[in-house]
Chain A
Amino acid sequence: MFAQKPNANPKTSLQQATGAGLASDGHHAIEVRALNVYYGAFRAVRDVSLDIERHKVTAIIGPSGCGKSTMLRAFNRMNELVPSAHAHGQVLFRGQDIYAPGVDPVEVRRHVGMVFQKPNPFPKSIYENVAWGARINGYKGSLDELVERSLRQAALWDEVKDKLLQSGHSLSGGQQQRLCIARAIAVQPDVVLMDEPCSALDPIATLKIEDLMRQLAEDYTIIVVTHNMQQAARVSDYTAFFNMDSERAGYLVEYGPTTGIFTNPRDKHTEDYITGRFG
């Protein structure tokens, strides 16, 4: 729909695409077509194509430095915060290429939210952490209800309902990460990206976040980068295994349903990695 007249409407709205996009590619939340991501002259991600299924958890695994995080950040154009970064290829969200000229990255990020490796709540109250994103995006409903709903969805409501006005930094690490998840889903995105969300957490907090991911998959498409093979096996429906080629560029080795990847990997590298022989 947009590809036909990209110049007629330079500030293309992703919302306009909803009807046409969803109709044309029913169960794919994001489709990546021949994506390359560069930092300056260095190619960090090489020629990746894959389709992310709607309302499923997709795990991205692979050895350190293979471009997993770069790949994840390509889904909501967060790479652009690094001045030298640029991408070639297409990332189709609702049928619209988010890298097409005229697409506003601010709007992309409102639909494709993100949870980071280290919990990073705003130095504000718990309430304000959740409400801020909705407010700046022009949310018209009741903020109180939205905050409660988001915190309930993030399985944090019961722990914080009596101290909503305390600082987000007063919470424990695991609670902070769930607060960040609540914050991300409060703007009602379609996709939530998670960049090693449990790597700074203890095992109990990790399990809570993993349970949460399973629940959130009912309403959102989740893409999670993880170093933890067991975690990928436990939470994800689909797994993408990335590796690094001789020029240190990351490429997609194998992608498919998680059970298939873990029980019957087609590629030797994948098998070596998931059995712990390298990485």
Chain B
Amino acid sequence: MTTEDKRPGGGRRAMAGGQPGSSNFAGNLPVRHRTARAWQLVFLGSTIVGIVVLTALLFNVLNGAFGLAAVEAKVDPATLAVRGAPIEEQSKEQLVQVLRDNLKPAVFERLAAEKPLERRSRREIYNLVVERIVEPTVLQTWPLFDSLLHRQEIAAEIAQEHPGARAQFLSWIDARFLITPQSSQPERAGVRTAILGSLWTIAITVLVAFPVGVGAAVYLEEYARDTWLTRLIRTNINNLAGVPSIIYGMLGLAVFVRTLERLTSGNLFGLADPTTANGRTILSAGLTLALLILPVIIINGREALRAVPRSLREAGLALGATRWQTVWAHVLPSALPGILTGTILAMSRAIGETAPLVVIGASTFINKDPSGPFSKFTTLPIQIYQWTSRPQAEFRNIAAAAIIVLMVLLLALNASAILLRNRYSRRL
């Protein structure tokens, strides 16, 4: 009893210390301000590092995607002009005539047999003329900033080293690049199959991961009792978010490609793509990426649900609503913006994933559009990875162009998801 009484008294004496006015406080304000300024500079520094790195990345990509090139044409397009009209301005019939005049008859017949010329559009015929007759080949390329700064020198170099070629400013990314499929020649290659493959894959990923992830988050936050089992599950989900993506690739290979082959190849439904007929399909890729982002969606979903005030749940339950009615009508709508933010982040991660798709067997060379979830596939990151590992310099140019496409696609998907989210959060 007495000791208890003494303790607070003793504490009070120690705190009071000296007399008021006789300063026990060091005059450390300038020091504290200096420390604060130093930390502020450190934080500013880290921001600047981030911005510099991002700028360097952007610079690097743009540098590769545009620039001067030495282009040599087998046949000078000017010689194909008909009555002064260059091939760009010629009608479809005139272009067909150009083809007939300049190609070997056998080649011409074969082209006509593949698809009758009269059924092809003017654009297709024009492309044939360029591909088969003019046959421009890129001999050498220069990056964008060299091209801008040393145009004269490059022109001189081309004239000296590649007589017969002309200097041409090429944008490796253009409408043709977006709508043509893969090709072994960099000048003809495009990302059409890769874009479609990426969109198909990400659609399956989100369709699977979003409902499953949100469902798991709702269960863990709203229903599960706090037992050692649920705590174990929660901890493990957090750990799963940090597992390297290539592990998910191996999992996908074992489970979706091999074990569930009948399902993922479409054989089960009789829908198998005859050219593939194995499990290395868009469906396998989408499911693998769904597994990959599932922990992220669950974690974000739980955070969002936990941020919903308890008073809202109590309000619903006090009206005689069941837990599910309360969650569905009030808790989920309030948590939805947060859940969608997490999903957007997860989606951005999934769309840029390469390693797991390499493991489950993305095709690196396809020029046929994917026709559904059971098609074999390639995606933009796979295409970029494959092009950057080629020896020819031109492939690095189209890889840079594909990176721009990937970034724009990512921005577009994120922007639409953010618009959707904002629409939701504005509703009262």
Q: Could you tell me which A residues sit within 8 Å of B by CB distance?
A: 76, 78, 81, 83, 106-107, 109-111, 113-114, 116, 118, 120-125, 132-133, 136-137, 167-169, 180, 183-184, 187
Contact = CB atoms under 8 A, between A and B. Distances in A.
B334 interface: yes
B320 A109 contact: yes
Nearest to B328: A136
A62 B312 CA distance: 27
A83 B313 contact: no
A114 B313 CA distance: 13
B55 interface: no
Contacts of B322: 106
15 contacts: A106-B317, A107-B320, A109-B318, A110-B320, A118-B311, A120-B309, A123-B330, A123-B333, A123-B428, A124-B428, A125-B428, A137-B319, A137-B320, A183-B319, A187-B320
A136 B321 contact: yes
Given A107-B320, A132-B329, A133-B319, A120 B428 contact: no
Given A120-B311, A122-B330, A167-B428, A184 B318 contact: yes
A132 B319 contact: yes
B314 A81 contact: yes
Contacts of B310: 81
Contacts of B428: 123-125, 167-169
Given A81-B310, A120-B314, A124-B330, 16 more contacts: A78-B317, A81-B314, A106-B321, A106-B322, A107-B320, A109-B319, A109-B320, A111-B320, A120-B312, A123-B312, A123-B333, A123-B428, A125-B428, A136-B320, A136-B321, A180-B315
Interface of B: 225-226, 309-322, 325, 329-330, 333-334, 428
Nearest to B227: A83
Contact of A133 (B226, B309, B321): B321
A4 B67 CA distance: 91
A136 B325 contact: yes
B225 A133 contact: no
B320 A122 contact: no
Contacts of B311: 116, 118, 120
A46 B309 CA distance: 30
Contacts of A118: 311
A106 B323 CA distance: 9
A143 to B, nearest CB: 14
A113 B225 CA distance: 26
Nearest to A192: B318
Contacts of A183: 315, 319
A136 B319 contact: yes
B330 to A, nearest CB: 6
A242 to B, nearest CB: 22
A222 to B, nearest CB: 15
Contacts of B226: 83
A83 B333 contact: no
Given A78-B317, A110-B319, A122 B312 contact: yes
Contact of B317 (A81, A167, A187): A81
Q: Which of B316, B318, B321, B333 has the most CB of A within 10 A?
A: B318
A102 B321 CA distance: 17
B321 A114 contact: no
Contact of A106 (B312, B313, B320): B320
Contacts of B309: 120
A180 B329 CA distance: 17
A132 B317 CA distance: 12
B339 to A, nearest CB: 15
Contacts of A187: 319-320
Contacts of A114: 314, 318
B315 A109 contact: no
B334 A78 contact: no
Give me the 4 closest cross-chain CB pairs, A-B, nearest first: A110-B320, A133-B319, A114-B318, A120-B311
User: Which of A76, A106, A137 has the most chain B CB within a 10 Å cutoff?
Assistant: A106
Contacts of A110: 319-320
Nearest to B428: A167
Contacts of B315: 116, 120-122, 180, 183
A116 B314 contact: yes
A184 B317 contact: no
A206 B310 CA distance: 24
Given A81-B313, A83-B225, A76 B329 contact: no
Given A122-B330, A123-B334, A123-B428, A113 B314 contact: no
B177 to A, nearest CB: 47
A120 B315 CA distance: 7
Contact of A76 (B318, B321, B325): B318
A125 B320 CA distance: 20
A78 B314 contact: yes
A85 B329 CA distance: 26
A85 B317 CA distance: 17
Nearest to B318: A114
Residue from B225, B226, B316, B317 whose CB has the most chain A CB atoms within 10 Å: B317
Nearest to A166: B428
A109 to B, nearest CB: 5
Nearest to B316: A122
Contacts of A180: 315
A200 B359 CA distance: 60
Contacts of A116: 311, 314-315, 318
A109, A125, A167 interface centre (most CB from chain B within 10 Å): A109
Nearest to A76: B318
Contacts of B318: 76, 78, 109, 113-114, 116, 184
A133 to B, nearest CB: 4
Contacts of A107: 320
B144 to A, nearest CB: 51
A83 B226 CA distance: 8
A194 B334 CA distance: 25
Nearest to A80: B317
B320 A133 contact: yes
A1 to B, nearest CB: 22
Nearest to A110: B320
Nearest to A169: B428
Contacts of B313: 81
Contacts of A136: 319-321, 325, 329
